[in-house]
Amino acid sequence: MKRILAIASFALALAGQAYAADLYVPDQPAEAPVAAPVVASNGWYLRGDVSYDVMDLRGAHFFQGNRASHLTDFASADLDNTGNLGLGVGYQVNDYLRVDTTFDWMFNADFNGSTTGSCGSAPTCRSHDTSSLTAYSLMANAYVDIGHYGLITPYLGAGLGGTYVKWDDLKNTSCSTTTGKCDDTVTHKGREGWRFTYALMAGAAIDINCNLKADVGYRFRHVVDGDMFGYSTKGGPGFDKGLNIHEARAGLRWAFDNGDCAPMYVAPADIPQQPQPVFK
């Protein structure tokens, strides 16, 4: 009996070794590493922008009558809203800093104002004044890209430069506040010149591909005060008190391809199916 049990145990041991030898599991392939997003860290770019400009004329004043010291504020002074086209060239210093120089052309903005005082037809009159304004700006700007969130990169920026403000001739018509009788329209020659300007920006860039980005944002520009119109018929010259311009902007930035252009994101390789045990 003991001999039979020993033979059976020995047979079972041989069978187990044979089963283990027949069970073959192929080598597991190493998983491909997941590629990280690729973001261009430097390079030159061109930009183009359009904007809708909300114009805030801070007021206007002028010398009234023959007394050069009699400086009087306009009773009302308003500019219509307008638009703007901009072009620029810039450089992406690194992932978080870029700089550019921009040239902007502001479309015509109509001016409507009024003054009060005496006139030829009556001792108390109110005038109606019309003109228009165009402007060109040259700005140097710097931006901080806050971070990269998928395809979106928010940023903050600031700029310094100058704006060439050109006022059209001001047409002034004064009418009696009691009889409604009006004097002849008087024309004051418009003035023009460069003025100091600063800007503050906030927005976001949206990746379209590795060369092209859409840029949407807000820009505030302050243009300092300056000459508005000259002297004519016992009135003038006149000066505006400066401009605050609120801009809703949209544009494109195109980066030069310097050979380092790469897709913004490389998809990870497919993970292979786990192989099943193979029995031989």
Element (H, E) at 217: strand 212-223
pLDDT value at residue 268 = 56
Query: What residues are paired with 43 via a beta bridge?
Result: 92
- The three-class DSSP label of residue 144 is strand
Domain count, the chain: 1
Residue written as tokens 């009889």?
179
Structure tokens at 71: 């400086």
pLDDT value at residue 179 = 85
Would residue 26 count as lying in a domain?
A: no
Instruction: Output helix, strand, coil percentages for the chain, rounded to the nearest 5.
Output: 10, 60, 35
Between CA 97 and CA 89 the distance in angstroms is 15
Would residue 31 count as lying in a domain?
A: no
pLDDT value at residue 71 = 87
Would residue 279 count as lying in a domain?
A: no
pLDDT value at residue 272 = 60
Positions of the chain with pLDDT lower than 70, given as ranges? 1-41, 66-69, 121, 257-280
Tell me which residue range forms the domain holding 124: 44-258
Would residue 140 count as lying in a domain?
A: yes
48-88 confidence digits (pLDDT tens): 999 999 999 999 999 887 655 688 999 999 999 999 999 99
Would residue 155 count as lying in a domain?
A: yes
* CB-facing half-sphere around the CA of 54: CA atoms within 13 A: 7
Tell me how far apart the terminal alpha carbons of the chain are, to the nearest angstrom: 35
pTM of the model: 0.77
Would residue 138 count as lying in a domain?
A: yes
Q: Which CATH number does the domain housing residue 181 bear?
A: 2.40.160.20
Would residue 111 count as lying in a domain?
A: yes
Q: What is the DSSP secondary structure assignment for residue 19, as one 8-state letter?
A: H
pLDDT value at residue 188 = 94
Would residue 196 count as lying in a domain?
A: yes
